[in-house]
Amino acid sequence: MADDWPPNGGEGLEFDHVILAVADLNAAAKLIFEKTGLGSVPGGRHTDMGTANRIIPLGPDYIELMGIVDDHQAAHSPLGRWIARRLAIREGIAAFCLGTESIDAVGRRLRLNPEPMERTTPDGTSLGWRLLGLEAAMADPCRPFFIQWDVPPGMHPGRMTADHRVAPLGISWVDVSGDPHDISSWIGQDSLHVRITPGESGIFGVGVQTNAGELVLR
């Protein structure tokens, strides 16, 4: 039976986004819109990574469609190689990310150092953030990675405007499988609807709440 974990507050963690690895950004965006009514907008290219994204803004958080746009760069970047490996298996949910305003505290707990990253939006705006634990998440998909955005709240990707057919209210849960103790130790003590099923490591579902009910992506 799946369990909700962890049970109580700690580092202010919240769902920030879920990554879907896709072979074609525009085709995937069109398919998701047709199936769910969730629209998307261009995100931008990840500097020197060979990857780019489209954003499905959900208000407090978002879904990130990520694909390879430069094969050479992607082959020489950890992020690009990870997306290529995921696509070699199948398109779909690849990882989830938890947002925090205390990335240094999370880093001390996990004994990891935050890494700065950035991407440029189509209008030329530079968005910066700090990531923690991405390498672990790429190696073990039941583990989230962590982010602290270095932008004003209104510039968070979840706040972008998209042409939805429904009104999204945010990510409501994520389904993962793996070792419950290991996953809960990695996440810490924040109350999040991360539903854990013991078994082989993986991430296999995300719920999105809307004004028309809950949508499930798998």
* Burial letters 7-24, b for 16+ CB under 10 A, else e: eeebbebebbbbbbbbee
Sheet of 213-217: strand order equals 3-5, 194-198, 168-178, 202-210, 213-217
pLDDT at position 10: 64
pLDDT at position 106: 96
Reference 100, options 194, 167, 189; nearest CA is 189
Query: What length does the chain have?
Result: 218
Could you tell me the pTM of the whole model?
0.92
Contacts of 17 (CB under 8 A, 6+ apart): 61, 62, 63, 64, 96, 97, 147, 157, 158, 171
Contacts of 154 (CB under 8 A, 6+ apart): none
Q: Check: CB of residue 82 under 8 Å from CB of residue 135.
A: no
Q: Distance between terminal CA atoms of the chain?
A: 18
Over the Cα atoms of the chain, what is R_g? 16
Q: Which H or E run contains 25? A: helix 25-36
CATH of the domain at 123: 3.10.180.10
Residue numbers of the domain that contains 167? 3-217
What is the chain's pLDDT, residue by residue, as a tens digit (218 residues)? 344 333 334 689 999 999 999 999 999 999 999 999 999 999 999 889 999 999 999 999 999 999 999 999 999 999 999 999 999 999 999 999 999 999 999 999 999 999 998 888 888 888 899 999 999 999 999 999 999 999 999 999 999 999 999 999 999 999 999 999 999 999 987 778 999 999 999 999 999 999 999 999 99
Given the structure tokens 């199936």, which residue do they identify? 35
Q: Which H or E run contains 46? A: strand 41-46
pLDDT at position 149: 96
Q: Is 6 helix (H, G, I), strand (E, B) or coil?
A: coil
Tell me how many domains the chain contains: 1
Q: What are phi and psi of 200, to 5 degrees?
A: -65, 140
**Cα 163 to the chain's mean position, in Å?**
21
